[in-house]
Amino acid sequence: RWSRVKGRLRSSVGEDVYTSWFARMDLEGVQDESVRLSVPTRFLKSWIQAHYAERVLSCWQAEMPEVHRIDLTVRSAVRPAAHPKEAPAPVEARRAPTPELRSTATAPVSANHDALGGSPLDPRLTFASFVVGRSNTLAHAAARQVAEGRRGDPVMFNPLYIHAGVGLGKTHLLQAVTWAGNSGNERKVLYLTAEKFMYGFVAALKTQTALAFKEALRGIDVLVIDDLQFLQGKSTQAEFCHTLNALIDAGRQVVIAADRPPSDLESLDDRVRSRLAGGLVVEMGSLGEELRHGILKSRVAAARAHHATFEVPEEVLQYLARTITHNGRDLEGAINRLLAHSKLNNRPVTLEMAEHEVRDLVRPQEPKRIKIEDIQRVVARQYNVSRSDLLSSRRTANVVRPRQVAMYLAKTLTLRSLPEIGRRFGGRDHTTVLHAVRKIEALVSKDTALLEEVESLKRQLQE
């Protein structure tokens, strides 16, 4: 039934609007006359409520006349289907009760951009509060370079594409570029989340102002787009592609952040992907202990601007930096909790308090994210062939088997899809990859020598 309702919705709003707004909507349950649906973000929820509530209801009623109410909720785990790698659900759920001092301390403000309207900027996310460490030196330097450019300067790398996992500082860096770029010189810098871009474009389509929207976009000097992995919908993507090309060709700077490299943005067109990869692509790695320590200190300093008596002893900072290894949001959450706790109970922060208050944020090291290149390198070394042999079309026995092993490992140790793995192995078809995976699966169940070899490769990769 749910799929029939979705079918109705799709034909009622059109393919493009459907993929933009409803593709990530899930059915949570039906009870008597009400239906519970969920979407991954608050933004999607309010957009659907404001524009499509009636439509959704009538599509349900066409299938189930007794339905009279639709409850739309935001799923606690931010985990869209196309995107299974994000933080596991319990983490997000645990994060919910964290006191959100961020939004009360200083309300986000909007960068005012006439008709376009950028996404809200957090005044605290500036270069001044961005801590530089080993994992983000290059990204930071490139971002600074972009922010300091003036109108008419030659553009050095375009687009600047920054990718990193959740909570590693992408949004912080992009907003820093926006703040810095907009202050002081005559350039127009526009910060948009990919969702906001879709919103702008779809809204413009509905009111027949799409042309004005396009013109306005092309009139800015620096376009900053956050969370590009959420860009969905064929015509939105086509529009994004045009905008990208137009801006780059006109010598305007484009800065993009996403949670994965361009090659892994599977829903995007090949041409867009290669355009994205044609500028400077920088990855920000996980936050090292020193960097975590620096971020904690910067957070405490920021909190002290409003709560002058708030102090966190060095031993507590060290404890937090050592034990909270996941991402910047947890570091921020930890400081927020300590602040709330010490304010409410009127007690100074101690190590004991910290151990108690943040114990759920402390968790074992995340398993290492294994890259396909690493697999190819390790397998090539093990079998004494070159990496280019693995990617080549050679079919001699001494490369066929290692290649199959490597594809098998890519399928079992990464979250890449079969077509993506095929592409990364010299442009092979997904059926070839599937064949290799099945072959090795069958072999390791009989051949213990091969099984041991595969296990040893896995161990080497996980180290």
Residues lying near ligand ADP in the complex (CB under 6 A): 125, 129-131, 136, 164, 166-172, 295, 298, 328-329, 332
Burial 250-283 (b: 16+ CB within 10 A, else e): eebbbbbbbbbbbbbbeebeeebbebbeebbbbb
State which residue, 120 or 426, has the beta carbon closest to Mg ion: 120
| Residue nearer to ligand ADP on the CB measure, 260 or 387 | 260
Residue 167 binds what, of Mg ion, ligand ADP, none (CB under 5 to 8 Å, by partner type)? ligand ADP
| Omega before residue 159 within 30° of 0, cis | yes
Query: Of 228 and 244, which has the nearer Cβ to Mg ion?
Result: 228
For Mg ion, give the closer residue by CB, 130 or 310.
130
Q: What is the DSSP string of 105-130?
A: HS--EE---TTT---EE-TT-SSTTP
Residue type, 195: E
Select the binding partner of residue 131 from Mg ion, ligand ADP, none (C-beta < 5 to 8 A, by kind): ligand ADP
Q: How far is the CB of 212 from ligand ADP (least distance, A)?
A: 30
Take residue 435 and report the two structure tokens written for it.
């064949």
171/236 with CB nearer ligand ADP: 171
For residue 134, what are its two tokens?
């080993």
How far apart, in whole angstroms, are the C-alpha atoms of residue 290 and residue 159? 30
Minimum CB distance to ligand ADP smaller for 285 or for 426: 285
> Residue 89 in contact with residue 104, Cβ under 8 Å?
no
Which residue's CB is nearer to ligand ADP, number 162 or number 276?
162
| Segment 318-322 long-range contacts (CB within 8 Å, at least 24 positions apart) | 318/293, 319/351, 319/354, 319/355, 320/292, 320/296, 320/354, 320/358, 321/289, 321/290, 321/292, 321/293, 321/296, 322/289
The listed partner (ligand ADP, Mg ion, none) that binds 423, CB under 5 to 8 Å by sort, is none
Residue closest to ligand ADP, measured at CB: 328
**Rounded alpha-carbon distances, angstroms, from residue 302 to 95, 140, 171, 297, 394:** 21, 20, 18, 9, 59
332 makes contact, choosing from Mg ion, ligand ADP, none, with CB < 5 to 8 Å by partner type, with ligand ADP
φ, ψ at 217 (rounded to 5°):
-60, -40
Give which of ligand ADP, Mg ion, none residue 255 binds (C-beta under 5 to 8 Å, depending on kind): none
164 binds, among ligand ADP, Mg ion, none (CB under 5 to 8 A by kind): ligand ADP
* Of residues 4 and 322, the one with the C-beta less far from ligand ADP: 322
Question: In the complex, what is the shortest distance from the CB of residue 131 to ligand ADP, in angstroms, rounded to a whole number?
Answer: 4
In sequence order, what are the residues at sequence separation of 6 or more whose Cβ sits closer than 8 angstroms to the Cβ of residue 98?
A: 333, 336, 337
Answer with the entry of Mg ion, ligand ADP, none that 168 interacts with (C-beta below 5 to 8 A by kind).
ligand ADP
| Least distance from Mg ion to the Cβ atom of residue 77, Å | 16
Backbone phi, psi, residue 280, to 5°: -105, 120
The least distance separating ligand ADP from the CB of residue 330, rounded to whole angstroms, comes to 8
Q: Which does 169 bind (CB under 5 to 8 A by kind): ligand ADP, Mg ion, none?
A: ligand ADP
Angle at 407 between CA 462 and CA 463, to 5 degrees: 5
Min CB(340)–ligand ADP separation in Å: 16
Question: Of these partners, Mg ion, ligand ADP, none, which one is at the site of residue 179 (CB under 5 to 8 Å by kind)?
Answer: none
- Nearest residue to Mg ion, scored by beta-carbon proximity: 171
Q: From the CB of 24, what's the least distance to Mg ion, in Å?
A: 17
- DSSP string for residues in 226-286: E-GGG--SHHHHHHHHHHHHHHHHTT-EEEEEESS-GGG-TTS-HHHHHHHHTSEEEE--P
Q: Of these partners, ligand ADP, Mg ion, none, which one is at the site of residue 298 (CB under 5 to 8 Å by kind)?
A: ligand ADP
For ligand ADP, which is the closer residue by CB, 171 or 325? 171
State in angstroms the smallest separation of the CB of 170 from Mg ion: 5
When the beta carbons of 171 and 404 are compared against Mg ion, the nearer one is: 171
In the complex, what is the shortest distance from the CB of residue 260 to Mg ion, in angstroms, rounded to a whole number? Answer: 13
- What span, in angstroms and rounded, lies between the C-alpha atoms of 110 and 118? 7
**Secondary-structure breakdown of the chain: helix, strand, coil percentages, each rounded to the nearest 5:** 55, 10, 35
Shortest distance, position 327 Cβ to ligand ADP, whole Å? 6
Binding site for Mg ion (CB under 5 A): 170-171
- In sequence order, the 6+-apart residues with CB closer than 8 A to the CB of 331 are 287, 292, 295, 296, 299, 320, 324
- In the complex, minimum distance from the CB of residue 169 to ligand ADP, in angstroms, rounded to a whole number: 3
Q: Which of 181, 252, 197 is nearest to 219 (CA)?
A: 252
**Residue 172 or 428 with smaller CB distance to Mg ion:** 172
Helix axes of 289-304 and 314-323: crossing angle, nearest 10 degrees: 130
**Residue 328 binds which entry of Mg ion, ligand ADP, none, with Cβ cut-offs from 5 to 8 Å by kind?**
ligand ADP
CB of 62 to ligand ADP, least distance (A): 40
